Structure 1
Amino acid sequence: MKVITRFAPSPTGNLHIGSIRTALYSWLFARHYNGKFILRIEDTDLSRIDLMAVDSILNGLKWLGLNWDEKPFFQTKRLSRYKEVINLMLEKEDAYICVCSSEKLLEIKNKQIKLGYKPRYPGICRNLKIKKDKLNKNYVIRFKNPLFGQVIFQDQIRGEIIFQNTELDDFIIQRSNGMPTYNFCVVIDDADMKITHIIRGEDHINNTPRQINVFKSLGFKIPIYAHLSMIFDESKQKFSKRKHAVNILEYCQNGFLPEALLNYIVRLGWSHGNQEIFSKNEMIKLFNLKSINKSASIINTKKLLWINKYYINNLSLDTLTQLIYEYMTKQKINITNGPDLKSLIILFQGRHATLKDMMESFRYFYEESNFFNSNIEQKYNVIENCVTLEMFYEKINNLFDWEDKYISMIINDISKETSVQKKDINMLLRISITGSLYTPSISSIIYLIGKQKVLLRIRKAINYIKMHKA
């Protein structure tokens, strides 16, 4: 049997991490068995379709490297196929026309709830054998669900699951506007595309018996199911498309590496011993459904940052330089107006968890900013510090050999001459030149920024203090 899996999102919003996990697990399972991974866009609910979400799905999967086989399939381009099967089901009397009004159905539902019953369609039109050509009012088409027996399936994660057919009602397979519904389309698609394994979230468990009954009605082979447990956010709230639908490309924009994100997501429910870091090839080789945990997973942003930092720190210098170059260029930072990026990467090595953090640390080498933060001003931007800054300006201006060690010597000399501790001078220079409280060696920073820029920034700081603190 050739393994064929699918990822079938509805384009009603951006994909959240739970959706990406479903895509990743389906992709890994197919690649592990040298099978096929199919991307299918379930877009029959026209009232909720978001065309931007389609682009988000396609571009997000491409960025993560989760390549699909064949073209992406769109359900709206398969409407003639669905209509063909619905007509066949009507002929076989496995489906029927329902003319119950929405008002009548709401009245029935309210009565059932009042009596403590589970709301379900009571089959009013089930045996009326209404013909379409004799109708002059709206109607829907319902699947004729078996009245007796059980639906039993062996979930690859949860074991045997049993539903009584009496718990299920005759669900709608075609809406009054003529569009087929999810629980019907998904069966036809899975059958036509020869899907062997369906990996999806546990919120689909209740859909499974309905879909299996349609499979049986049409004589199609039933796929193997694996339902993944939920993912909760850090406050232990269930992930939802409405609340947590962060476009996956925002992770790219925030400086995460696709390999790191995949490594993090794969561990949200699956494990291989105590191993934390997996290359994509290792994931493909080791992934299996038996190692998926039944328990819910909880998002841990610190863990994601740790993994991303690991991947950044293990990139080659040339690769990381190219990545940060592309990242900063997209942010319209002029890289030619400052030091070589490789020098900065070496100087700041091991400090950053994301490319965005790295860019923010590098920004002051290339751009002028307002460095006088009000919280910092109170301690360091005081008139007494002008003496230190003036001395530093004069000595730097007269420095002939522009080298890190000579800059460091100047700072030492000023400390001796003024009896100001070196650490205080370093902080004063750090704030005046970079606007940051935290940098590597300030002498190295000054060296890489360059003499002319440093002189301009020191003069700017002196003028600012004299103007506002005098």
Structure 2
Amino acid sequence: MPDRPVRTRIAPSPTGMMHIGTARTALFNWLYARHTGGKFLMRIEDTDRERSTEEAVQVIFDGLKWLGLEADEEPVFQFVRADRHREAVDDLLARGAAYRDYMTPEELEAERELARAEGRVVRSPWRDASPNDAPDRPFVVRLKAPQDGETLVQDAVKGEVRFQNSHLDDLILLRTDGTPTYNLAVVVDDHDMGITHVIRGDDHLNNAARQTLIYQGLGWDVPVWAHLPLIHGPDGAKLSKRHGAQSVTDFEAMGYLPETMRNYLAKLGWGHGDDEIFSDEQAIAWFDIVDVVSAPARLDWAKLNHLNNHYIRQAEPVRLAGLVEKVLASRDWPLEAGDIAVIERTIPFVRDGAKTIPELADAVVFALKRRPLELPEKAQAAMTEEMLARLSRLREALGALPHWDVRDLEAAIRAFAEREGVGIGKFGPQLRAVLSGGAPAPDLAGAMVALTREESLGRLDDALSRPA
């Protein structure tokens, strides 16, 4: 194409969910536009009126917004541009690059059977007929594709892909009711939006040949093609419901962060040396569409979880607390005033082991339990008179601490064990049960800092005052 600013686009159809493959396509378009100083645009291909509801469109907007991939200009809606699509067909007819096909359904079926028997594509007898011979009956408009030679698709990912023109039929541009077909609408919309690079899934590669012919028929510059490999499941099969998550909404609901998904999706089919973790700024600086590999990428849950844990550890506790609050609300956990502050205070002590936001929610539950806590059966059985006496002495030692921080608490627990002449294992499990009520909790000192002095000592007092 002429040397002009890069303009990429994502053009999803509103089908009720936003597939993770579409999300990666959006990411690659966004990265390339940012890398080149260009613009990232959006088109909603809403010609399927039955499925193209406002709710389905909103799913796309919400998914891209969550991922942080919002477009640089207002979205284009394909359906309302039908008049422009028909205008382009008139231009093709005037140029002799298209023709009206008056075959009846019965004639078309007979031609299809003959074409199958002869091992060729369908060719209409109206292809070279004079317009003066046109009958008064419904017609479709077809592209007059070349019958000899080949069509070359120069693909930035796959290299040169050659299509024999003898294998390309005269595709329909307008149906009998005057509605435009997909391949026509895509070409006209991309041209009018000034799209310079069409970056999309390689399930569209065959369309590239037909769309190239439409561009050429209209005398327009053909954009740079770049067809991305599909995303497969861990077993190498095309990603489907049996692999777990398919849509952006699924991954959000499972507790993955948007920065995790941007980092991880960038690694599915593209990479920068051995770098596994990188910022958006680094990805933008490094990304080039020609570096995308042509082989399908496999979803790796272990790598995704590892990456999400990294970003959970990097995120601000106040942000994570808001996400945890939503998870707990979805579980009907009775949150009270002040609980968000408890969650925020607890997160730094528990997030190192959390791979997802629901796991992080599980890890903070111990701090939200209401007094008096009910001890697990095993812990209750271990509360002998000797154990209660020891915990009472420990409570006295802890209550005398001038500072309530991890370092001083760890030192106090070690010193207490030495004075008692036992290992921490002789009372640590019971202390943990008293503090957490049997819920997962961090190390003893971290749990007590998260709970605060007042709450920690209060839980100890409850356990010591409980009848043996």
Q: What TM-score does the superposition give when structure 2 sets the normalisation length?
A: 0.81
Letter in 1 for 2:271: S
Report matched runs for 1:422-461 at 5 Å. Answer: 422-423=424-425, 425-428=427-430, 430-431=432-433, 434=436, 436=438, 438-442=440-444, 444-446=446-448, 448-449=450-451, 450-451=455-456, 454=459, 458=463
More off after superposition, 426-435 vs 18-27: 426-435
3-state SS, counterpart of residue 350 of structure 1: helix
Q: 2:358 aligns with which of 356, 364, 373?
A: 356
In structure 2, do the counterparts of structure 1 residues 391 and 167 end up closer, same or farther at CA, with 3 Å as the change threshold? farther
Where 1:162 maps in the other structure, the secondary structure is strand
**Cα offsets for 1:149-185 (capped at 9, x unmatched):** 2101221122111101111112222234433121110
Tell me which residue corresponds to 1:11. Answer: 14
Match of 1:80 in 2: 83
Instruction: Name the counterpart of 1:40.
Output: 43
Does the aligned pair in 2 maintain the 1:200–1:226 contact within 8 Å?
A: yes
2:67 to 64, 67, 76: 64
Cα deviation digits, residues 44-87 of structure 1 (max 9, x gap): 12244354332121122122222312210010121111122223
Which amino acid in the other structure matches residue 70 of structure 1?
A: E
Distance 1:313 1:32 in 2: 28
**Alpha-carbon contact 2:184-2:211 (below 8 Å) kept:** yes
Q: Quick one: distance in 2 between partners of 1:116 and 1:440? A: 73
1:410 CA displacement? 8.9
Cα 1:453–1:71 change in 2 (3 A) is farther
Task: Tell me the distance in 2 between the aligned counterparts of 1:230 and 1:244.
Answer: 17
User: C-alpha displacement at 1:27, in angstroms?
Assistant: 1.2
**Partner SS for 2:185:** helix
Do the aligned residues in 2 keep the contact of 1:11 with 1:43 (CA within 8 Å)? yes
Distance of 2:409 and 2:275 partners within structure 1: 47
Map 1:47-446; keep pairs closer than 5 Å.
47-93=50-96, 94-101=98-105, 115=117, 117=119, 120-127=121-128, 129=131, 134-135=136-137, 139-239=139-239, 246-315=246-315, 320-331=316-327, 332=329, 333-334=335-336, 336-337=338-339, 340-341=342-343, 343-348=345-350, 350-367=352-369, 380=378, 383=381, 385=383, 401=400, 422-423=424-425, 425-428=427-430, 430-431=432-433, 434=436, 436=438, 438-442=440-444, 444-446=446-448
- What is the alpha-carbon distance in structure 1 between the residues aligned to residue 410 and residue 143 of structure 2? 81
Superposed displacement of residue 188, structure 1? 0.4
Q: Specify the code of the residue in structure 1 equivalent to 2:8.
A: T
Structure 1: tracts of 5 or more residues without a match: none
Q: CA deviation at 1:42?
A: 1.0
Stretches of structure 2 that go unaligned for 5 or more consecutive residues are 330-334
* Count of matched residue pairs: 449
Taking structure 1 as the reference length, the TM-score comes to: 0.80
Contact 1:200–1:228 (8 Å) recurs in 2: yes
Give 3-state SS (helix, strand or coil) of 2:352's partner.
coil
String of CA shifts for 1:409-442, please: whole Å, max 9, x gaps: 799989999x998536543554565355642223
